[in-house]
């Protein structure tokens, strides 16, 4: 055996052999965080440890890609509904176009958090859902002949929020809105919505194609533990989404927690006025389902952050962190469900106490994710490329 053989070696040679091993080890570890060979060879099954690779496969194949596919389908339905409205701009067709808009907007909440890879390089979230939208810019664009929606300056003149304005905000009643689509502006309006829908569909198609043609494998095979590994990077993006877009964007900023007074016009779907809560809740549920590894559109689930936490056996205060996080999501949901539409909460209450309380529940999940979860997983948040002690 090798060990017996080693025992026969003189001390200095053994020391040397060990030093050589260490050098090899050291040479295999690169200076800047380390990169994992992207060949995707899964490591041997080890019952004792959690396989990050398995979780990545579950994320990509059972959650992320199916969610994008469903979203792309929703956008097609939306485009079809618009075609009907185009042909006959009736109130009934407006109502069904609006229903398709809401349905696809909800579907968007299921993919908005996946801003990594193709979505990140496209800047999908900013292109799809920058609000508040800028009616002046939309009007100016329509008045001009050539506008380029791919310009970053047009981000607040397209996507779901622009549609919100164009189908909910042009006038007070549906009849008044419909009459706009049968008046002098008809062509400009139709053309603009066509352009917005085409832009949304193109971007989504590119992201989905990106996942299907290569990125899925890159994502799944980068299963290491460095700051550039998929899990570390995505967990950062995932928490960033919760803090910045779900918590602050949909609730905190309109509520005025960062400015001192409420700003209802910063609500998502402001012109529709009654669905901001629904959109938030859809996003929260999608976020929680992802945490639990629930397969998209199914009741089954796979390896997830929740099962990772369980595997790490992070039992604290006699309760598992997994349960604590899920409990907090549930509390947040209950608190938001009990609210009137956000816009009413903000416009009808001088001090929107109830919504503030609900926001606090949403907020309470942030330290659980950003402190407890990542610390248990030894994932560095906002990885800083600097030396440690």
Partner 1 sequence: MTSLKEKYINRSVEAAPLAVFRIFFGLMMFLSIVRFWSYGWVDKLYVQPKFFFSYYGFEWVKPLGGYTYFIFVICGISALLVAIGYKYRLAMLLFFLSFTYIELMDKTTYLNHYYFISLLSFLMIFLPANVYFAVDAAKNTRKAFQYVPVWTLNSIKLLLGIVYFYAGLAKLNSDWLLKAMPLKIWLPSKFDIPFIGDLLSLEWVQYAFSWIGAGYDLLIPFLLLYARTRIFAFTLVVIFHVLTRVLFPIGMFPYIMIVSTLVFFDAKLHGKILSLFARVLQFSKELFDTKRSWAPKSRVLSKATGRMLVLFFALQLLVPFRYLLYPGELFWTEEGYRFSWRVMLTEKSGYAQFKIVDGESGKWFYVDNTDFLTPFQEKQMAFQADFILEYAQYLKNHFEKQGHRNIEVYVDSQVALNGRLSTSFVDPTVDMATQQESFAPKNWIVPFKDEIKGL
Per CB under 8 A, does 19 bind partner 1? yes
Q: Which stretch binds partner 1 (CB under 8 A): 89-97, 112-120, 146-154, 313-321?
A: 313-321
Q: Crossing angle, helix 65-87 and helix 91-111, to 10 degrees?
A: 170
CB of residue 354 vs partner 1: minimum separation in angstroms?
17
Sign of CA dihedral 276, 277, 282, 288: positive
Shortest Å distance, C-beta 314 to partner 1: 7
3 is an interface residue for partner 1 by CB under 8 A: no
State which of positions 178-217 bind partner 1 (CB under 8 A). Answer: none
34 binds partner 1 (CB under 8 A): yes
Closest Cα to residue 62, out of 307, 309, 302, 306? 302
Does residue 254 bind partner 1 (CB under 8 A)? Answer: no
Residue 9 makes contact with partner 1 by CB under 8 A: no
- Interface map 44-73 toward partner 1 (x if CB under 8 A): --x-xx------------------------
Using CB under 8 A as the binding criterion, the count of chain residues that bind partner 1 stands at 58
CA angle 155, 157, 147 (to 5 degrees): 90
The SS3 call for residue 46 is: coil
The span from the CA of 288 to the CA of 286, in Å, is 5
**Of 137, 138, 162, 359, whose CA–CA distance to 250 is shortest?**
359
Least distance to partner 1 from the beta carbon of 33, Å?
7
Angle at 233 between CA 231 and CA 236, to 5 degrees: 105
CB nearer partner 1, residue 116 or residue 374: 374
Segment near partner 1 (CB under 8 A); pick from 69-77, 175-183, 219-227, 276-284: 219-227
The H or E element spanning position 320 is: strand 319-320
Q: In whole angstroms, give the CA distance from residue 63 to residue 329.
A: 19
Measured in whole angstroms, how far is the alpha carbon of residue 331 from the centre of its chain?
A: 21
Q: Is 367 in the site for partner 1 (CB under 8 A)?
A: yes
Contact at 8 Å (CB) between 337 and 331?
A: no
Distance (Å, whole) CA 209 – CA 148: 23
* Residue 39 interacting with partner 1 (CB under 8 A): no
Name the residue nearer to partner 1 (CB basis): 256 or 273. 256
Interaction mask 317-356, partner 1, x per CB under 8 A:
x---x--x--------------------------------
374 contacts partner 1 (rule: CB under 8 A): yes
Closer CB to partner 1, residue 22 or residue 337? 22
Q: Does 382 bind partner 1 (CB under 8 A)?
A: yes
Binding mask 113-152 for partner 1 (x = CB under 8 A): ----------------------------------------
85 closest CA partner among 197, 245, 248? 197
The yes or no reply on residue 88 touching partner 1 (CB under 8 A) is: no
Which part of the chain contacts partner 1 (CB under 8 A), choosing from 66-74, 129-137, 308-316, 337-345? 308-316
Round to whole Å and give the CA distance between 186 and 95.
18
Q: Least separation, in Å, of the C-beta of 250 and partner 1?
A: 16
Question: Is residue 301 within 8 Å of residue 344, measured between CB atoms?
Answer: no
357 belongs to the binding site for partner 1 (CB under 8 A) = no
Give me the half-sphere count of Cα atoms (radius 13 Å) on the Cβ side of residue 163. Answer: 27
| H/E element, 187 | helix 186-210
Angle between helical axes of 65-87 and 186-210 (0-180°, round to 10): 160
Report, in Å, the least distance between residue 374 CB and partner 1. Answer: 7
- Binding positions for partner 1, rule: CB under 8 A: 15, 18-19, 21-26, 28-29, 33-34, 36, 43, 46, 48-49, 223-226, 229, 248, 252, 256-261, 312, 314, 316-317, 321, 324, 363, 366-368, 370-372, 374-379, 381-382, 384-389
């Amino acid at each position: 055996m090798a060990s017996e053989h080693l025992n026969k070696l003189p001390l200095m040679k053994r020391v040397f052999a060990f030093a050589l091993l260490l050098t090899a080890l050291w040479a295999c570890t690169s200076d800047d965080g380390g990169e994992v060979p992207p060949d995707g060879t899964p490591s041997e099954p080890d019952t004792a440890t959690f396989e990050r690779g398995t979780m990545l496969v579950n994320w990509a194949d059972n959650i992320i890609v199916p969610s994008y596919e469903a979203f792309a389908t929703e956008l097609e339905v939306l485009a079809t509904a618009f075609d009907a409205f185009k042909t006959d701009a009736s109130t009934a067709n407006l109502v069904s176009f609006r229903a398709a808009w809401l349905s696809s907007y909800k579907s968007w909440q299921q993919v908005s958090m996946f801003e990594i890879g193709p979505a990140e390089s496209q800047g999908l979230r900013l292109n799809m859902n920058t609000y508040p939208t800028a009616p002046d810019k939309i009007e100016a664009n329509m008045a001009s002949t050539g506008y380029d929606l791919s310009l970053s300056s047009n981000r607040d003149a397209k996507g779901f929020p622009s549609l919100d304005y164009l189908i909910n905000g042009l006038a007070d009643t549906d009849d008044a809105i419909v009459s706009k689509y049968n008046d002098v502006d008809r062509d400009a309006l139709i053309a603009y919505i066509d352009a917005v829908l085409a832009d949304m569909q193109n971007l989504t198609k590119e992201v989905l194609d990106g996942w299907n043609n290569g990125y899925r494998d890159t994502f799944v095979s980068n299963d290491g533990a460095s700051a550039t590994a998929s899990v570390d990077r995505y967990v950062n993006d995932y928490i960033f989404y919760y803090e910045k877009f779900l918590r602050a964007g949909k609730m905190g900023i309109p509520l005025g927690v960062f400015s001192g007074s409420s700003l209802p016009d910063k609500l998502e779907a402001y012109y529709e006025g009654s669905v901001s809560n629904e959109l938030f809740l859809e996003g929260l549920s999608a976020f929680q389902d992802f945490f639990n590894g629930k397969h998209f559109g199914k009741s089954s689930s796979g390896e997830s952050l929740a099962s990772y936490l369980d595997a790490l056996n992070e039992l604290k205060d006699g309760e598992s962190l997994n349960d604590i996080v899920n409990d907090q999501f549930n509390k947040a949901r209950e608190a938001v469900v009990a609210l009137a539409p956000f816009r009413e909460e903000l416009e009808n209450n001088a001090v929107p106490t109830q919504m503030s309380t609900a926001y606090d529940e949403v907020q309470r999940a942030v330290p659980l994710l950003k402190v407890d979860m990542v610390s248990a997983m030894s994932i560095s948040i906002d990885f800083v490329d600097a030396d440690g002690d």
